[in-house]
Amino acid sequence: MRLHQLLFGCVCLAFVLFSAPAQGQQLLQANRLSFFSVEPGIRWWPVPLAAAYNATGTNIDVSDIVFTWSFPGEADQSCTYRGHPGVLPCRGMVVEKTWLHTTLVTVVLTASIPGNPAVSTSKRFNILASYTGPTARRENMLTMAPARWQAFTNALYTLKANGVYDHYIYHHVTAGTSGIRMGSQRNLAHRGPALLPWHRVFLRLLERAVGAASGDLTLGIPYWDWTADAVLPGGPKSSRVWTNAYLGPDGSASADYRVLTGPFCSIVSSTCSGRWPLLPQLAGPALERQLGNMTQILPTASQISQIMGVTQYDGTTYDDTATASLSFRNALEGWNGFGGAHNLVHMFVGGSMNPLTSPNDPAFFVHHCNVDRIYYNWQVQRGCYASCYQPHTGDGTVTASTPGAKIVNGQYRLPGHEWESRLFPWFLHPYDVSDQTNSASGYTYVQ
């Protein structure tokens, strides 16, 4: 199944919650219960659902509410406001669903407080086999229309407030701590072949949510071309990227490197609206940056040109030790030669961009969008999609000497990284997202 058959299945339901002191609970009202969604839905792609109850002007404490989602023929799934972060399937009030078929599906959302009548609302989704709607345009963040960048920022605020943004951070953390086997640091999203297809899915999921939150499905994730900043006379820190018009400033050394001002500061103050709080269980409470602390340089255009010249997708160790000249993936990831590429950018930004909770910083997404752009250009340059990816199950390149290889049915395998493997935790595979050059893939790069 190809990418154009799968995209736009991220149906994101968002909430905005307002609480008031609980003094003699009022009855819940159905007209205050709602959810926000992206349509149409496409089978196989995950569907984060987020509950909404507007308690403004009432004495209802939303933390007492239990939200329940009902799917046809399946057991109900419930989450509370307080939630149990880190425990699937609930992320606070966010629950994730994947439809494995195409049909009309009615989802029922119910809100209840113990001892009081429940209220419900429902929505019917048309789950399709393929998408032929608007194409998201991924533009250079510094040259796109300022109004489109602001629309992107506002969409992130919506997704942050409704829990969907943090839901994706959990995916990154979980994948990054799973699948590690003795003899290798490879996990299910990094240090191995799945790096690029995994993050391609990850980007597209957020992008669909951005389109829904903004009301503009042509609004793609912008990319940060850090090679341009690498040669600025004032150094990379002088880039407009780090002004309040874009990602905001560096962290303050006198405040544990917290970002104190700008669009993505976290702690409410006279200089901060506090619209970007970080969850305590996700390295919160505040976004941190240490620009230029671990390295003062960014990848150059010359280094990316060298990486583009690597003809083989991956080397036979299939991890961070793969020779860069024999592994496009490892060269671009930055573990072994050609200047560090992807890894160098994380190091340059520092702070919240260093741990597996790095998607806390929106810099993560504009950075990884650029990484995917380079991957896209490499694929187009090589005319190489299915035939280039390595390894394929049973192709003989995974052997007893491959670090972290696992014996499955008498064969050495790399679960999670083969062409036919599921990209954890989704029902998608590298072959599903190999070719996004078709307009039906859902996004295109403006270069």
pLDDT beyond 60 at 433: yes
pTM of the prediction?
A: 0.91
When pLDDT is averaged across residues 98-115 and rounded to a whole number, the result is 92
Residues 102, 196 within the same domain: no
Residues 73, 207 within the same domain: no
Q: Which residue has the higher pLDDT, 131 or 57?
A: 57
pLDDT beyond 50 at 9: no
User: What residue type is assigned to position 378 of the chain?
Assistant: W
What is the pLDDT confidence band of residue 336, given thresholds at 50, 70 and 90? confident
Residue 270 belongs to domain with CATH number: 1.10.1280.10
Residue 83 has a pLDDT of: 63
- Mean of per-residue pLDDT scores for the chain: 90
Which of 82, 101, 132 is the last residue before a domain boundary? 132
Residues 112, 239 within the same domain: no
Residues 120, 257 within the same domain: no
Task: Classify 401 in phi/psi space as left (phi over 0), alpha (psi -120 to 50) or beta.
Answer: alpha
Residue 13 has a pLDDT of: 39
Residues 57, 192 within the same domain: no
Residues 124, 145 within the same domain: no
Helical H segments across 163-299, by residue range: 164-176, 195-214, 226-229
Residues 143, 120 within the same domain: no
Residue 35 belongs to domain with CATH number: 2.60.40.10
Residue 88 has a pLDDT of: 61
d(CA 165, CA 360): 9
Q: Which residue has the higher pLDDT, 41 or 50?
A: 50
83 exposure class (CB count in 10 Å sphere: 0-12, 13-18, 19+): middle
Domain span at residue 109? 3-132
Residue 348 has a pLDDT of: 98
Residue 4 has a pLDDT of: 38
- Do residues 226 and 371 lie in contact, with contact meaning Cβ atoms separated by under 8 Å? no
Residues 246, 300 within the same domain: yes
What is the pLDDT confidence band of residue 196, given thresholds at 50, 70 and 90? very high
Token reading at 376: 């896209």
When pLDDT is averaged across residues 290-305 and rounded to a whole number, the result is 97
Residue 84 has a pLDDT of: 59
For the chain, give the percent of residues with pLDDT over 70.
92
Residues 74, 182 within the same domain: no
Q: Which of 329, 368, 327, 326 is nearest to 346 (CA)?
A: 368
Residues 74, 51 within the same domain: yes
What is the pLDDT confidence band of residue 16, given thresholds at 50, 70 and 90? very low
Residues 217, 365 within the same domain: yes
Q: Which residue has the higher pLDDT, 370 or 132?
A: 370
Express each pLDDT in 362-410 by its tens digit: 999 999 999 999 999 999 999 988 889 999 999 999 999 999 999 999 9
Count of domains for the chain: 2
d(CA 388, CA 383): 9
Helical H segments across 120-194, by residue range: 146-162, 164-176
